[in-house]
Amino acid sequence: MRRATPTRTGPATLRLALAGAVLVASTAAASRPASTAASVDAAVPASPAPPADVDATPPALPEPPPSNIRWKTGRPPTPPPAGAPAPASNIRLPTATAPAVAAPEPEPPASNLRWKSPAPVVTPADTAAAAAAAESAEPVAIPDSPAEALRRALLAYRRTDDPRRFDTAFRLFQAAAAGGDLRARIAVGYLQAMGLGTQRDVATGTRALLAASAAGMARADYLLSLMEPAGSARETSLRASAAGRGDAAAQNAMGVHFARAGDRDTAELWLTRAAASGSPAAKANLARLAQSRGAQRQREADDAGAGAGEAASLFALAQRYHRGTGASVDYGQALRYYRAAAAKGHGPARRMLGLIQSRPAPDGAVDPAWMRQLATVDLGDGDRASAGAAPTASGLPAAAAPLQLDDPLVNLAGVAAPSPRTRKSP
The per-residue pLDDT for 388 is 44
Q: Which helix (H) or strand (E) covers residue 51, if one does?
A: none
CB-based contact 185:204 (threshold 8 Å): no
Confidence of residue 19 (pLDDT cuts 50, 70, 90): low
Rounded distance, CA 195 to CA 204, Å?
Answer: 11
The per-residue pLDDT for 114 is 44
DSSP secondary structure letter of residue 330 = -
In a domain, 315, yes or no: yes
Domain carrying residue 320: 295-400
Rounded distance, CA 246 to CA 219, Å?
Answer: 9
In a domain, 374, yes or no: yes
In a domain, 345, yes or no: yes
The per-residue pLDDT for 138 is 57
- More confident call, 101 vs 149: 149
In a domain, 153, yes or no: yes
What Å distances lie between residue 202 and 86, 185, 244, CA to CA? 90, 14, 26
Amino acid at 80: P
Confidence of residue 293 (pLDDT cuts 50, 70, 90): confident
- DSSP string computed for 107-119: PPPPP-----PPP
For the stretch 202-230, pLDDT in tens is: 999 999 999 999 999 999 999 999 999 88
Inform me whether the pLDDT recorded for 284 exceeds 80: yes
Kindly report which listed range (123-127, 169-173, 320-324) carries the lowest average pLDDT score.
123-127
> Residues 241, 299: one domain?
no
In a domain, 227, yes or no: yes
> Residues 313, 373: one domain?
yes
In a domain, 146, yes or no: yes
> Residues 383, 300: one domain?
yes
> Residues 308, 366: one domain?
yes
- How many residues does the structure list for the chain? 426
In a domain, 43, yes or no: no
CB-based contact 279:248 (threshold 8 Å): yes
CB-based contact 220:189 (threshold 8 Å): yes
Rounded distance, CA 191 to CA 194, Å?
Answer: 5
The per-residue pLDDT for 366 is 85
Confidence of residue 187 (pLDDT cuts 50, 70, 90): very high
The per-residue pLDDT for 205 is 95
Q: What share of the chain is helix, strand, coil (3-state, %, to 5)?
A: 50, 0, 50
In a domain, 336, yes or no: yes
> Residues 211, 146: one domain?
yes
DSSP secondary structure letter of residue 105 = P
Confidence of residue 246 (pLDDT cuts 50, 70, 90): very high
> Residues 240, 166: one domain?
yes
> Residues 217, 305: one domain?
no
Mean pLDDT across the stretch 286-296?
Answer: 78
CATH classification of the domain holding 239: 1.25.40.10
For the stretch 307-366, pLDDT in tens is: 888 888 889 888 888 988 777 888 998 999 999 999 988 989 999 998 998 888 888 888
Q: Which long-range contacts (CB under 8 A, 24 or more apart) does 380-384 make?
A: 380/348, 381/347, 381/348, 383/312, 383/315, 383/346, 383/347, 383/348, 384/312, 384/315, 384/316
Mean pLDDT across the stretch 250-257?
Answer: 94
Based on the structure, what is the number of domains in the chain? 2
- More confident call, 32 vs 68: 68
- DSSP string computed for 375-398: TT----SSS---SSPPB-TTSSBG
> Residues 163, 223: one domain?
yes
Rounded distance, CA 275 to CA 258, Å?
Answer: 16
